[in-house]
């Protein structure tokens, strides 16, 4: 399979001017230049038809990477190819094959209905009539926008706007879509719908998606590959199952029982945390004997109900951020 994105030793250094310290009044306009490294020698590739999450804490370098992928920013050093184009050198040609969806930066015209923006996109990307009609009908039905597509954008709910944003962004059949916080501020029902739509378009259109989000549920539900960036460097690059295997160091047993004494007596050497009157949690290292504990709990018969699970992805990601200096 070909790669949609290839990045090698990519570095971006910003020059930041600040006023000189202890400058006299006549030196008020003199400044010092400092260099800030936002991204440092990162390497990754993203295969065609993949859905990949790019995550990290605020200030980690995610936005800088996305802007270099789009061609908005020039890299200081290293190489970058997107769909076999060099983004900053071939931006116009690249833009015909990619699309961006930014949850906080709408492209719909605020006082006009979304259909007007769709027409603008048709001319902007020089989409022929048949392709435009086919794509519009396909997306219109999938995103269920028929009931509100003719209303001014200012009268639409946030969820309705995002649905129309997605339609506008996909009319020209982009091979790659960059999504930045696509579900920010949305209710759960709309979030789930957006996740399903992304996966369906990926499967039916073979579209590659790169998604940045602070909502780890979005990432876990949509993405196959995960790139974690912190302080300008990549600290993890792989599939989510591998991430869990490498970083999920504990298992948790949640127990519901009204008989606390029997529970404690059945596991005399195991620390048990009481969460409420009848709710308890046991935290086990991976090397601990889970089977032994489960066997003891099963002997309680109907006196206790329990479930076993590993650390959730959000906890694992937080652990990575902290261990790498968030």
Give the number of C-alpha atoms closer than 13 A to the C-alpha of residue 95, restricted to the C-beta side: 13
Cβ neighbours of 139 (radius 10 Å): 21
Helix (H) or strand (E) holding 186: none
Query: Which pLDDT score, from 0 to 100, does residue 326 have?
Result: 52
In the structure, what pLDDT confidence band is assigned to residue 325 with cuts at 50, 70 and 90?
Answer: low
Q: Is 323 exposed, middle or buried (0-12, 13-18, 19+ CB in 10 A)?
A: exposed
- Determine the Cα–Cα distance for residues 106 and 120; give it in Å rounded to an integer: 14
- Determine the Cα–Cα distance for residues 295 and 300; give it in Å rounded to an integer: 9
Q: Tell me the per-residue pLDDT of 131-182, one tens digit each, with 9 for 90 and over.
A: 999 999 999 999 999 999 999 999 999 889 999 999 999 999 999 999 988 8
DSSP code, position 20: P
C-alpha distances in Å from residue 251, one per residue of 10, 286, 289: 37, 6, 11
Contact 305, 257 (CB under 8 A): yes
Residue 98 reports pLDDT greater than 80? yes
Residue 238 reports pLDDT greater than 90? yes
Residue 235 reports pLDDT greater than 60? yes
- Determine the Cα–Cα distance for residues 187 and 289; give it in Å rounded to an integer: 41
Architecture of domain 3-24+33-245: 3-Layer(aba) Sandwich (3.40)
Residues in the chain: 326
Q: Which of 97-106, 175-184, 188-197 has the lowest mean pLDDT?
A: 97-106
- Identify which has the larger pLDDT, 127 or 321: 127
In the chain, CATH 3.30.70.120 covers 250-310
In the chain, CATH 3.40.50.300 covers 3-24+33-245
Percent of the chain with pLDDT over 70: 93
Contact 38, 57 (CB under 8 A): no
For the domain made up of 250-310, the CATH class stated in words is alpha beta
- Determine the Cα–Cα distance for residues 192 and 215; give it in Å rounded to an integer: 12
Query: Which pLDDT score, from 0 to 100, does residue 287 have?
Result: 63
Mean pLDDT for the chain? Answer: 88
Judged by DSSP in three states, 143 sits in helix
Residue 27 reports pLDDT greater than 80? no
Q: Looking up tokens 């300008």, which residue turns up?
A: 232
- Determine the Cα–Cα distance for residues 116 and 150; give it in Å rounded to an integer: 9
0.85 exceeded by pTM: no
Residue 81 has φ and ψ, to the nearest 5°, of: -130, 130
């Amino acid at each position: 399979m070909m790669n949609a994105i290839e990045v090698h030793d990519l570095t971006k250094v910003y020059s930041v001017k600040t006023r000189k310290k202890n400058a006299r009044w006549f030196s008020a306009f003199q400044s010092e230049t400092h260099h800030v490294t936002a991204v440092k020698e990162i390497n990754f590739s993203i295969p065609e038809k993949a859905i990949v999450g790019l995550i990290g804490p605020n200030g980690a370098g995610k936005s800088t990477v996305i802007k270099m992928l789009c061609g908005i920013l020039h890299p200081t050093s290293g190489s970058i190819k997107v769909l076999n184009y060099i983004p900053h050198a071939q931006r116009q040609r690249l833009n015909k094959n990619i699309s961006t969806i930014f949850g906080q930066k709408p492209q719909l015209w605020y006082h006009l209905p979304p259909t007007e923006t769709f027409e603008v996109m048709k001319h902007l990307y020089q989409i022929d009539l048949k392709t435009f009609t086919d794509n519009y009908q396909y997306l219109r039905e999938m995103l269920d926008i028929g009931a509100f597509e003719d209303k001014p954008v200012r009268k639409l709910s946030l969820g309705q706007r995002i649905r129309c944003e997605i339609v506008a962004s996909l009319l020209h059949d982009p091979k790659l879509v960059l999504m930045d916080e696509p579900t920010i501020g949305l209710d759960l029902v709309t979030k789930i719908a957006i996740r399903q739509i992304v996966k369906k378009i990926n499967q039916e259109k073979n579209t590659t998606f790169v998604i940045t989000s602070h909502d780890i549920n979005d990432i876990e539900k949509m993405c196959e590959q995960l790139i974690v960036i912190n302080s300008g460097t990549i600290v993890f690059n792989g599939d989510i199952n591998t991430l869990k295997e490498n970083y999920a160091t504990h298992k948790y047993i949640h127990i519901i029982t009204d008989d606390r004494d029997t529970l404690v007596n059945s596991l005399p050497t195991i620390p048990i945390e009481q969460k409420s009157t009848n709710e308890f949690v046991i935290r086990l290292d991976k090397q601990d004997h889970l089977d032994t504990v489960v066997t003891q709990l099963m002997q309680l018969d109907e006196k206790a109900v329990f479930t076993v699970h590993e650390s959730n992805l959000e906890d694992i990601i937080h652990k990575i951020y902290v261990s790498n200096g968030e």
